Amino acid sequence: NAGVTQTPKFQVLKTGQSMTLQCAQDMNHNSMYWYRQDPGMGLRLIYYSASEGTTDKGEVPNGYNVSRLNKREFSLRLESAAPSQTSVYFCASRVLAGGNNEQFFGPGTRLTVL
Amino acid sequence: TQLLEQSPQFLSIQEGENLTVYCNSSSVFSSLQWYRQEPGEGPVLLVTVVTGGEVKKLKRLTFQFGDARKDSSLHITAAQPGDTGLYLCAGGRGNQFYFGTGTSLTVIP
């Protein structure tokens, strides 16, 4: 089991460029999440998908779009990148078993917008 | 505005010392989780607490959920260099999780 995988690991964009961050999980989890992590801010939820075919906004959705392509894959798109979107992006999937409610995180994508 | 505030933000201690990290909120959560994150990696779950007043132990780590389910603490006994990392609390509400600001712990050999 690879768990949660993310591509790319690093990316540098110029202001105004677009890109898609890919995430896939092989644990058959229903729920998937996109977070961003900035210094001193912890992780903030951008979008989530509680189940295949549904997506919902989190705390900081502006400037982003998502697609739940199938049960395994959940992508995050930046249509017109801005320097304020420089961050580390984490994808997570979630199991709800016996009240454990655990999220499994990918290794992250480090994005710099110039 | 962060729903969960952690303190202290940074902590540097000698090996063998004890420490406590706090996670506070004015909001009620259905569950409270603690994660540890190492540089260049994603967070890894340490524990989930769901009942007010609940205490869980994981070797030298003790986790407590406040009676009102608004706050939590993590206590480490006899810290070791392997405990070094970023500790994050996260409150669960429905399908969403709200993360704290994080506590960066360094244990000096």
The per-residue pLDDT for range A66-80, each reduced to its tens digit, is 999 899 999 999 999
The Cα of B109 is separated from the nearest Cα of chain A by a number of Å equal to 26
Nearest CA-CA partner of B88 in B80, B97, B96, B79 = B97
Pairwise CA distance, residues B64 & B102, whole Å: 17
Output phi, psi for A37, to 5 deg: -125, 120
- Assign A83 to helix, strand or coil: helix
Which of A59, A102, A107 is nearest residue B42 as measured by Cβ atoms?
A107
Give yes or no for a contact between B106 and A47, defined as CB atoms under 8 angstroms apart. Answer: no
**What amino acid is encoded at B53 in this protein?**
G
Cβ of residue B77 closer than 8 Å to a chain A Cβ: no
Question: In the predicted model, what is the mean pLDDT of residues A8-13?
Answer: 96
pLDDT of residue B12: 97
Banded model confidence at residue A95, pLDDT cuts 50, 70, 90: confident
CB contact under 8 A, A105 and B9: no
Banded model confidence at residue A2, pLDDT cuts 50, 70, 90: confident
CB contact under 8 A, A42 and B88: yes
Residue ranges of chain B with per-residue pLDDT less than 70: 1-2
Mean pLDDT (chain A) is: 92
pLDDT of residue B82: 94
Pairwise CA distance, residues B1 & A59, whole Å: 10
Give yes or no for a contact between B5 and B99, defined as CB atoms under 8 angstroms apart. Answer: no
pLDDT of residue B93: 86
pLDDT over 70 (residue A97): no
- A80, with CB counted inside 10 A (0-12, 13-18, 19+), is exposed
CB contact under 8 A, B102 and A40: yes
Nearest residue of chain A to residue B8 (CA atoms): A40
Banded model confidence at residue A9, pLDDT cuts 50, 70, 90: very high
Cβ of residue B44 closer than 8 Å to a chain A Cβ: yes
pLDDT of residue B3: 82
Question: In the predicted model, what is the mean pLDDT of residues A28-43?
Answer: 91
**Which residues share a beta bridge with B91?**
B32, B98
The Cα of A16 is separated from the nearest Cα of chain B by a number of Å equal to 27
pLDDT over 90 (residue A101): no
Extract the tokens encoding A103.
């999220």
Query: A102 or B37: whose pLDDT is higher?
Result: B37
pLDDT of residue B25: 92
Banded model confidence at residue A100, pLDDT cuts 50, 70, 90: low
Pairwise CA distance, residues B27 & A50, whole Å: 22
CB contact under 8 A, A43 and B88: yes
